[in-house]
Amino acid sequence: MTDDTTRGTLIDGIHYHQHDVVIVGAGGAGMRAAIEAGPHANTAVISKLYPTRSHTGAAQGGMAAALANVEEDNWEWHTFDTVKGGDYLVDQDAAEILAKEAIDAVIDLENMGLPFNRTPDGKIDQRRFGGHTAEHGKAPVRRACYAADRTGHMILQTLYQNCVKHGINFFNEFYVLDLLMTDVPGEKKGTTTRKPSGVVAYELATGEIHVFQAKAIIFATGGYGKIFKTTSNAHTLTGDGVGIIWRKGLPLEDMEFFQFHPTGLAGLGILLSEAARGEGAILRNSEGERFMERYAPTIKDLAPRDIIARCMATEIREGRGGGPNKDYVFLDITHLEPAVIDAKLPDITEFARTYLGVEPYYEPVPVLPTAHYAMGGIPTNVKAEVLSDNTTVVPGLYAAGECACVSVHGSNRLGTNSLLDINVFGKRAGKNAVEYVKTAEFVPLPVDPAAGVLAVLAGVRKGNGTERISDIRRELQESMDRNAQVYRTEKSLSEVTELIERLRARYKNIAVQDKGKRFNTDLLEAVELGFLLDLAEVLVYSARSRKESRGGHFREDFPTRDDANYLVHTMAYLTGDPESADAGEHIRLDTKPVVITNYPPMERKY
């Protein structure tokens, strides 16, 4: 046995660490939680990437807050827009917290040193974004605080530098592959309670296994957009954290709701931020028509993302798409001054030049909806505590950011509310975790805590099958694009379900070429593929059950919203082994009431 402060205690080849708070994920939510927890508790952040490579850095356009620096605004209007934008599936108590605490969240970042764009008198500048309005929907409002079109990048850098200032312990390029749960005596005699006791991680540089024991664990692992082929998400967004929670028998909420951002570069999915439309960009069809005037006459190109994505798809279906195959529409900023474009949209225009060879000064940019954001995920309450059912808290377990479902986004997230979400609920997760560990004791680790992870990795490494990981992943992604994207039907969703069953069988017969330990990304991609199959299946199964259209979930065979039967959250539970039966045999669906305070469901007009 050896003991090293940076490598932990080595016992039988496994490294053991002990921290009060362990945060899984070093994006915006994880690092905001760390800043809150680090000064008050022994905190460690475990990340599969170097922190400043986390996907928060890809967020471009802004962070919403009713500062009223440029136009009259208030948090109640922001709350209403969030609820309406989410097609009334938003929990309104959570939306009120999001909008109220948005103002302090922006000021916190300003005080940490984030270089926001400024008005001539030195205040934080603000611009328009889709779905954000004044006076409960009467007109667009300037609510998005921004740093050019690199807002997420600036937030990530600012949070990381402040984590360094606070001396946060980072374990970079460590893949967390398991959550350890231990049964402990309950409050009532003769009962037990499952509590988290730690996590197990694979160190990419060495192939060694590390066990992190903790009093409180925060999941901030981001989304899972790589279940789709056309996506704005990075290759690493494979839903590891959400998948781990699922495999532990804890529920997932509203998994059928996935956002397809209207303006991905055609054929690539690389994101062109809504900031462009916030600065005045116009969507046009092949006839040059500003078609959003027909669909959303009040706010036009600044309608919520789900509406615009469907309008674009409709234009293409009806033959008004551009290009040789008439399969995209155009984002036009040619009427904007080059100086404005360079000052406020530098990355967007560079992407168009680099990847499509289009000069945005003079040519409209081909765009198409791209899989962008998961509204569903790990269910939490407003304290960021993870739930084991509709109301029961898992003591010591928290989640924040895209991996969590609180639910402030309902069935469709408004642009700029994601960067807000990670800061508001990341802060809450860190703060509440600290309060918890003040009185909590370390929960004993299970016997041989790394056994499960070691068995999985050994099974993959020793596999000598004939199936390639990339082939299975490609078939899954292409089918999800075809059958579970902007438009869905029972037939299309059934096709994906049947394919996933076949892919699971093939997954048992995979082989990895790299049999080594150091930097074995081949091995980890095999593990990630398992998570992708799990999450795609839950999404599709939940979508088949919801026989209505709401927000990011549009069923052509049930094209209207049905509040009488479906104004509820979907709760999915794993009830058996996914590899032993079809989805109907190992997934159980239940519902959870939507919290409604001030805004009863109304018709969604823009």
Q: Which residues of the chain have pLDDT under 70?
A: 1-6, 578-584
Residue 287 inside a domain? The answer is: yes
For 444, what's the count of Cα atoms within 13 Å in the CB-facing half-sphere? 7
Residue 332 inside a domain? The answer is: yes
| 224 labelled ligand-binding | no
Residue 513 inside a domain? The answer is: yes
Task: Please give the Cα distance from 116 to 145 (Å, whole number).
Answer: 7
| 418 labelled ligand-binding | yes
- Report DSSP letters for 298-317, one per residue: TTGGGS-HHHHHHHHHHHHH
Q: Which residues pair with 210 in a beta bridge?
A: 15, 201
Which of 369, 402, 425 corresponds to the end of one domain? 369
Predicted pLDDT of residue 581: 54
Residue 454 inside a domain? The answer is: yes
Which of 325, 347, 369 corresponds to the end of one domain? 369
Which of 369, 394, 415 corresponds to the end of one domain? 369
Residue 514 inside a domain? The answer is: yes
Task: Please give the Cα distance from 509 to 460 (Å, whole number).
Answer: 9
Residue 466 inside a domain? The answer is: yes
- Structural domain harbouring 358: 266-369
Task: Please give the Cα distance from 227 to 225 (Å, whole number).
Answer: 5
Q: Which residue has the tokens 């990981």?
A: 469
Q: Within this chain, do residues 456 and 563 fall inside the same structural domain, yes or no?
A: yes
pTM of the model: 0.95
3-state SS assignment for residue 155? helix
Residues labelled as active-site residues = 305
Q: Within this chain, do residues 560 and 455 fall inside the same structural domain, yes or no?
A: yes
| 52 labelled ligand-binding | yes
Q: Within this chain, do residues 460 and 549 fall inside the same structural domain, yes or no?
A: yes
Q: Which residues contact 543 (CB under 8 A, 6 or more apart)?
A: 256, 484, 488, 493, 553, 555
Residue 325 belongs to domain with CATH number: 3.90.700.10
Number of domains in the chain: 2
Give the closest residue to 417 by CA, choosing from 84, 139, 69, 118. 84
| 64 labelled ligand-binding | no
Task: Please give the Cα distance from 287 to 296 (Å, whole number).
Answer: 19
Residue 353 inside a domain? The answer is: yes
Predicted pLDDT of residue 5: 55
Tens digit of pLDDT for each residue in 31-52? 999 999 999 999 999 999 999 9
Q: Which residue has the tokens 């471009």?
A: 60
| 53 labelled ligand-binding | yes
Where does 386-520 have alpha helices with state H?
A: 417-439, 451-462, 469-483, 490-507
Residue 463 belongs to domain with CATH number: 1.20.58.100
Q: Within this chain, do residues 461 and 560 fall inside the same structural domain, yes or no?
A: yes
Torsion of CA 177, 524, 231, 126, to 10 degrees: 50
Residue 316 inside a domain? The answer is: yes
Q: Within this chain, do residues 360 and 460 fall inside the same structural domain, yes or no?
A: no
